[in-house]
Structure 1
Amino acid sequence: MPTAVDSMSIWGLIEEASVLVQIVMLILVAASLASWFVIVQRSRLMASARRSLQRFEEQFRAEGSLDRLFNQTCGQTSAAEQVFRSGFSEYQQLSQHASTESTAVMEGAQRAMTVAIAREEKRLEKNLPFLATVGSVSPYIGLFGTVWGIMNSFIGLSQVQQATLAAVAPGIAEALIATAIGLFAAIPAVIAYNRFAAGSEDLIASYYTVADELATLLHRRLHTPGQR
């Protein structure tokens, strides 16, 4: 003959859980949904940044004139193009003044590109601390709900004359659901955080490579008139 434990579903266990455990579960579900929203948003952003970087690198190396490339990238908003336009625009403004030393021209262009890269780095790393927080805190929140549920189960067990597994099992099961939800929220957040952090570092390194290549060409142009 089936017992109440056999016929009880996961949803039924959640409904029978204490108010505090239900609040813990609700917090974890909300954190999981928010983290998945961030994961999808960051995935699209990273994919778009990689595509635009690859497209610009091909254009940058194929174009024979920096002036034409500057005009072609007018109105473009991708990070690589913004780095290029910031550096080249600063170079043009400073090099127009004959009194400006070549060292000052190059330093100004490099600073402009560094600022553009720092701005993009901030954009790429936006919301990553939230994923890190969800990944590190969710298991402990779930564990708190589990401890509270098990504590209530043993308190209830002490109030009955005959202690049986059927009496304590539902309470323990509903408590363990909180831990499961906490892990469900934490694991994707940790994986996504590591992936996005590594991807962000790779993109930033590529932007610095673009900046260094442009600085080399500008230095050559500054000291060898007629170059690109």
Structure 2
Amino acid sequence: MSLLDTLSAGAASAPTRLDPIELFLQADIVVQLVIVGLVLASIWVWAIIFGFSMRMGNTKRKCDAFEKGFWSDDDVDGLLDTRRQNDNASARVAAAGITEFRRSHKAGLRDKEAARNRVAQAMDGQVALEADKLANRLNFLATTGSVAPFVGLFGTVWGIMNSFFQIGLQQNSSLAVVAPGIAEALFATAIGLFAAIPAVIAYNRLSNTVNGFEARLTRFADRVHAQVSREMETV
């Protein structure tokens, strides 16, 4: 076989594109562990994104239905009991204010202004609690967005160190010796970015959604507080 034929055969057998699975299988065990951890983090990030979106949509629909009925239904107690059983954020906010109002009314309402402040504080506290419950799982998105690139970089640094070790071991600094190890190492950084970028985008977007929902509950609480204040004036 001629030299030209040998080169042609080698070119034909060489890969024509990157194979992520092959890069993973050929990587050092430390780099493999880094990649597996980042892939699991990425899966969890997407699970949080889809789960939160579905939960947020369901929560808004429940709150819409409750708030519509709250201002038109005379049986407030029955409405509150039903909605609280159905896990309704607006119902819990209204219940916090109305419960505090009834406690103050039972005590005689000697200081109406203080009673108004207690009602407002009770609802404000419940609004903050509802927002915290919604935003609780978003902390993982922020953590992944901040840490994943550095975890991937750690895998890259380790892989490059291993490539230099192979150079010293084989006494050969040709590109054919170091290129595979460097490619495997850089793959860890790519996976880190793959996990971090959606996490950062989702965290900013979903945090804005939580802030908007908190503002909505605050406006509803203000309306309830105004209604309770009018009730106090007639007592």
What TM-score do you get using the length of structure 1 for normalisation? 0.87
2:51 corresponds to which residue? 41
Is 1:73 equivalent to 2:80 in the alignment?
yes
DSSP-derived class of the 2:99 partner = helix
DSSP-derived class of the 2:209 partner = helix
How many Å separate the matches in 1 of 2:159 and 2:141? 27
Structure 2 counterpart of 1:32, from 1, 22, 42:
42
Letter in 2 for 1:167: V
2:33 corresponds to which residue? 23
2:6 corresponds to which residue? none
2:185 corresponds to which residue? 175
The 5 A counterparts of 1:43-192 are 43-61=53-71, 63=72, 65=74, 68-76=75-83, 77-160=87-170, 163-192=173-202
Q: Which runs of 5+ in 1 are unaligned?
A: none
Deviation for aligned residue 1:165: 2.7
Computed over aligned residues only, the root mean square deviation of the Cα atoms, in angstroms, reads 2.2
How many Å separate the matches in 2 of 1:190 and 1:96? 50
Residues 151-160 or 202-211, more deviating: 151-160
Deviation for aligned residue 1:83: 0.4
What TM-score do you get using the length of structure 2 for normalisation? 0.85
Deviations 1:38-70 (A, max 9, x none): 222222222222222222333334x164xx233
How many Å separate the matches in 2 of 1:5 and 1:164? 17
DSSP-derived class of the 2:123 partner = helix
Letter in 1 for 2:163: S
Deviation for aligned residue 1:109: 1.6
